[in-house]
Amino acid sequence: MDSEVTVWSLVTNAGALVQLVMLLLLSASVISWALIFQRLKVFKKARQAQLAFEERFWSGMDLGQLYREVNAEPTPFSGLESVFRAGFKEFSRLRQQSRDADAVMDGTQRAMRVAFSREQERLEMHLPFLATVGSTSPYVGLFGTVWGIMNSFMGLAQVQQATLATVAPGISEALIATAMGLFAAIPAVIAYNRFAAKSDALLKNYETFAEEFSSILHRRVHSSEQGAA
């Protein structure tokens, strides 16, 4: 009686190139899942840090005191805090060097844009890899399938009578590559879309905060300018 055919036996009996394709897809899947869990942790902490800093910022605390506190103990993954620190630090430095309110605000906004860009890079880190895995894995798996089926039919050419039992194992080996390609691609695509949406939402909040903070500093620098006049 023939031994039972299992998925593992089909993988081990596949051709060298098909096995290489499977190994590549398995590696991509493992790395994707590791990045997915890492990004979940990052976005969760970034969202919590955003809410916590907004509560402190809008509580009416003196901005100078808030800057000293967050500069002494920075909160990890807090994009709003990074934008605030960069903007307030540049604002304080420029006010000591120049009485031109427009020059002070231009420098402050430029510093906040640089901090915003850094936070954008941090949030979007590893997302291109997930997009690449999601878009290319099905084609890599399909390549392995086509190659495996081609080898199966080449082997059938040497058999005088082809039966289903003769054809099925070779085709099954080849189709596993397509299945693995989909297994790697589907989670990566879902994760990429989800993280891209989360990143856009956080960055919009950072941008809105930067504009509101600029308005507060703008009123402060112009009021002090009028008082000096």
Residue 217 structural domain? 31-68+78-138+184-228
Higher pLDDT, 127 or 7: 127
Q: How far is CA 38 from the centre of its chain?
A: 9
Q: Judge whether 3 lies within some domain.
A: no
Q: Which residues contact 186 (CB under 8 A, 6 or more apart)?
A: 134
pTM (two decimals): 0.82
The token pair at 141 is: 């798996």
Q: Judge whether 171 lies within some domain.
A: no
Count of structural domains within the chain: 1
Q: Judge whether 1 lies within some domain.
A: no
Q: Judge whether 92 lies within some domain.
A: yes
Q: Judge whether 16 lies within some domain.
A: no
Neighbours of 44 (CB within 10 A): 12
pLDDT digits (tens, 9 = 90+) for 172-207: 777 888 888 999 999 999 999 999 999 999 999 999
The Cα 15–Cα 151 span in angstroms is 8
User: Comparing C-alpha atoms, which of 76, 74, 81 is closest to residue 53?
Assistant: 81
Q: Judge whether 178 lies within some domain.
A: no
Q: Which residues contact 115 (CB under 8 A, 6 or more apart)?
A: 82, 83, 85, 86, 87
Q: Judge whether 151 lies within some domain.
A: no
Quote the DSSP letter at residue 70: H
The Cα 192–Cα 208 span in angstroms is 24
The token pair at 85 is: 């620190």
pLDDT digits (tens, 9 = 90+) for 108-131: 999 999 999 999 999 999 999 999
Q: Judge whether 101 lies within some domain.
A: yes
Higher pLDDT, 107 or 16: 107
